[in-house]
Structure 1
Amino acid sequence: MGAGNNRRTGKVVVTVALLLALSGCQSVQRQISEWLPGTEKSTGPVVRRQVPFPAQTYAALPKSGIATVKGRLFYQRPEGGTVYGDHEQVSIAPVTEYSAEAASQALAGKRVEPADPRARAYTHTTTTDSRGYFSASGIPAGVFYVAGTVALPGGGRSPFILKQVRVRKDSTVEVELSR
Structure 2
Amino acid sequence: MKITINGEEKTLQKRQRAVGSEAPAVKLKLKSGEDKVIGMMADKIQLICTLSHKPSDELVEIVNANEEKVLSYIVSSVSFDAKNLDDEKCSFDFYNLAMKFGVCIDETLCADSIFLIDKEGMIVYKEIIVEEKRDFDLEGFKKALDEAVNFKRKGHVHENWMRY
Task: Give the alignment's TM-score, normalised by structure 2.
Answer: 0.26
Task: Give the alignment's TM-score, normalised by structure 1.
Answer: 0.24
Report which of the two has the higher share of helix.
1
Q: Highest Rg: 1 or 2?
A: 2
